[in-house]
Structure 1
């Protein structure tokens, strides 16, 4: 029904996609205009399965859920045609989205998706941390975290995509917690207090973040504030879950009260406060 003149692969532009935030596509760093409807949901599912054949039925589910129209298959074909047309017009290869048996497949270069860059930076940072280069690891982790431009797949309302969005949101928080631990270890506690305060407010049940905020405050000679953060967290946990803080938080609470070090090699800040030392 529809056809496009083939474009030479050698002349194809560099395609890059973002799903760590609103779905965006560029060719040679120029935005590709995409219709903000079912095309985005279809493209999002193809991107999350890049390099794999996605059955037509899954694409229909992603776009319409449990009540697709009787013309769903035809409408998916039209959506794919329009996507191909938009990308070819922007300078991408005509083979970006392939028709395969029973569905479609999206082919991407290795660095064509922000989640792939995220994972590469995360692994590089993890290797540098294991080698003792904490500052270098923090640089990689912060570069990975900077790839997020909002909630993953923001603005897309599709039950089929919700697990993907939740997965990458959790990946971000897990890496952020790892990064914050390293930054505390290299003495950046004062700089982190503001960021951690906002994070704990946003994620009040996330105990690793509360631990980091308490440690940052204590190391910044703010023992009373650190204890207040603990008690606020304990009240929140009991109110919402009926649980006491985890053992790690309780141990930190005891250390702060005793004026003990909370990190390897960290000074006992409470002793400095009591003696009047700076």
Structure 2
């Protein structure tokens, strides 16, 4: 009910009426309030920071600020399409209608009952069919008769008494030379109308039937309706960069990308969009370009490519308007005919691509806004986007298929190294080769950099480069050669962070623990846990931090890829004072000590007057202590490696109190704890 009235207050009485159809229980208003609370909790759990459902007398309102609702988007697209029809821009109208219809993933409000909802279901379905009929009309005007026949056959089969759809199907069949099928379509409609309703078909359908029998010249597409073609020759751009040499692995990702291309090139399918995401150096661009070369022959009208990332450090990325201008030129539009107004440039781009089968690769996209206008309206095209961000709007609005890439498996990483420097050289020192790719985080970019160094110095044993990469303070320098700067790759993601997220990234880089929970970040910042978790989400979205799993208390744990941590550590040493760094580490180490002490006490069932989160130096989140108390041994197992690293790191920083306390706790063996039963006594010697 709230979704059906976005932005408007829906009273509690109206909600009660809709849910119980006039026969509400005595607790109806209370149940509505409980449902609203549950919905709000669900929205929060899904990451909606703003309130989605507001309480406004005499009920509630669904606030659409910063949120996307398919019905409102559909209405706006249809209105824009109707405006394009009035402006006599059928190609633009067709693209807008197609985008609107693409929002439908099945019947509206499927599975929801209730009189008011069912009435709305019928209204929305009628609106969808009317929009489809309008889409078909402009497609007929554009001469796309063959493309619309499969969809029309389905609509006429499901809605046999819908004469507007049957009229369009007959006309399309006639115009592609299928005159007999057009007559059969009329005959079937006549029988169903007469037998089902006792009525002859309407005058428009009968007039079309007569015109087809007479081969009326007026049935041919009028020349005035053909869209204006560019004055230059139709070009077939081939803009892909060279394929990646020695491409290795990525079988599942290539299989997922293969599903973007339909086997039936004449089928009327939605626009195919793929999104390749992953951290810096994971080979997103290489995967996209390699796949594009593999399927190039499936796109006879050309291949467009744009690198949307900044070409140099501190340089702004190219704008969508600039890329549109270049794409239009590549597609054969003379410079003098490329509009200067952005909206007109987008409309021309979509018009030129209408009916063409083009693959568009958009590499290193920064935001959805940067690529919004580069996505065509025609369904025969395919768009492949690479980005370090998640670009949720691309998934929501265009149903993009998300393909994640990360580090290569060890064997594939070693294989990549061998393809560059020679398999024999790797076989002679396989253990060193495994260690080398691990030092490179098993990322294709860094492995290629290391392999290039070895290829340029054939006298170097693999183990020698391993020895140069082993010291953390010099690893980023060793992996920055021939214009390939790993720091620059990380810097691009780092600059997009908010100031607080950037601070958290730097301070997390000071830790040597293999993984950690969110409370550690809160301790490093000396802030609350809830706010810190939102900052961690930013780091994950920027591919600077990864989820490592969950500990025994159900809390998520996070980890760095080694090179990302080294970059964060460098920034911390450059931008923060020794005092601030030491204070941050001290808070985190004290937190580990306090929680470990609490866990040991809980294992023994010892009374703990500080169990409500008031342990000196420990996290202030009481719920954390409660979860830990329920599963103390699980928590200690999950934190074992982190605690060992803290002991070592604290000792090296002169924090002996924390180091010694944790060492004692780690060596301490807890006694058995069974409520009401004393631990068994050891037998006398």
Identify which of 163, 170, 180 aligns with 2:126.
170
Query: In the superposition, relative to structure 1, how do residues 166 and 263 fare at CA in structure 2: closer, same or farther (>3 Å)?
Result: farther
SS of residue paired to 1:99: strand
Q: Which residue pairs with 1:64 in the alignment? A: 20
Deviation sequence 1:149-201 (CA, Å, 0-9, x none): 11111111121211211111111111110110111121111222222111110
| Matched residue, 2:509 | none
Could you tell which deviates more after superposition, 127-136 or 181-190? 127-136
Does structure 1 residue 146 correspond to structure 2 residue 146? no
Equivalenced residue count is: 222
Q: Is the 8 A contact 2:143 2:221 kept in 1?
A: no
After superposing the two structures, state which structure 1 stretch, 54-63 or 171-180, moved more. 54-63
Which of 132, 139, 142 does residue 88 from structure 2 map onto?
132
Within 2, Cα distance between the matches of 1:111 and 1:100? 19
Match of 2:76 in 1: 120
- 1:256 Cα deviation from its structure 2 partner: 0.1
Equivalent-residue separation in structure 1 for 2:145 and 2:152 (angstroms): 10
Aligned partners of 2:43 and 2:67: how far apart in 1?
17
Q: Counterpart in 2 of 1:250?
A: 206
User: Which ranges of structure 1 fall in alignment gaps of 5 or more residues?
Assistant: 1-44, 267-278
Over aligned residues, Cα RMSD in angstroms?
1.6
Closer/same/farther in 2, CA of residues 207 and 253 from structure 1, 3 Å limit: same
**After superposition, what is the alpha-carbon deviation per residue over 1:234-277, rounded to whole angstroms, capped at 9, x for unaligned?**
110111111111111011001000000325527xxxxxxxxxxx
Secondary structure of the residue that 1:161 maps to in structure 2?
helix
Structure 1 pair 263/130, CA: closer, same or farther in 2 (3 Å)? farther
Q: Is the 8 A contact 2:77 2:96 kept in 1?
A: yes
Q: What residue is the counterpart of 1:16 in the other structure?
A: none
> Match of 2:55, SS?
strand
| Deviation sequence 1:4-30 (CA, Å, 0-9, x none) | xxxxxxxxxxxxxxxxxxxxxxxxxxx
* Distance in 1 of aligned mates of 2:103 and 2:50: 27
TM (norm. structure 1) is: 0.76
Q: Hey, what does 1:73 align to over in structure 2?
A: 29
* Candidates 253, 262, 265, aligned match of 2:219: 262
The equivalent of 2:171 in structure 1 is 215
Question: Are the equivalent residues in 2 in contact too, given 1:129–1:137 (CA < 8 A)?
Answer: yes
Q: Which runs of 5+ in 2 are unaligned?
A: 224-685
* Distance change (3 Å), C-alpha of 1:243 and 1:263: farther
For the 8 Å contact 1:185–1:263, the answer to whether it is kept is no
The question of whether the paired residues in 2 share the 8 Å contact of 1:233 and 1:245 is answered with yes
Q: Which moved more, 1:139-148 or 1:60-69?
A: 60-69
TM superposition shift of 1:111: 5.8
Instruction: Give the Å deviation of 1:132.
Output: 2.2
Paired with 1:111 and 1:255, the residues of 2 have a C-alpha distance of 50
- Deviating above 3 A after TM superposition, structure 1's stretches of 4 or more consecutive aligned residues are none
Judging changes above 3 Å, is the alpha-carbon distance between structure 1 residues 110 and 162 closer, same or farther for their aligned structure 2 residues? farther
User: For structure 1, which segment, 244-253 or 57-66, has the greater mean C-alpha deviation from structure 2 after superposition?
Assistant: 57-66
How far, CA to CA, are the matches of 1:161 and 1:263 in structure 2? Answer: 44
Gap change, CA 1:238 and 1:153, over 3 Å in 2: same
Match among 120, 125, 147 for residue 191 of structure 1: 147
SS at match of 1:155: coil
Q: Does the CA-based 8 Å contact 1:60-1:73 persist in structure 2?
A: yes
Q: Does 1:101 align with 2:101?
A: no
SS in structure 2 at match of 1:117: helix
Decide which moves more: 101-110 or 221-230. 101-110
Give distance in 1, aligned partners of 2:173 and 2:38.
54
Q: Quote the residue 1:28 is aligned against.
A: none
Deviation at 1:139, TM superposition (A): 0.6
1:232 Cα deviation from its structure 2 partner: 0.9
Deviation at 1:99, TM superposition (A): 1.7
Matched, 1:156 2:143: no
CA distance in 2, matches of 1:212, 1:135: 18
For the pair 1:239 / 2:181, whether they are aligned, the reply is: no
| Partner of residue 46, structure 1 | 2
Establish whether residue 180 from structure 1 lines up as the match of residue 130 from structure 2. no
Distance 2:126 2:66 in 1: 23
Q: 1:179 to 1:82 in 2, by over 3 A?
A: same
Distance 1:192 1:108 in 2: 35
Q: Give the Å deviation of 1:94.
A: 5.2
Q: CA deviation at 1:90?
A: 2.1
Q: Tell me: CA distance 1:101–1:177, structure 2 relative to 1, closer, same or farther (3 Å).
A: same
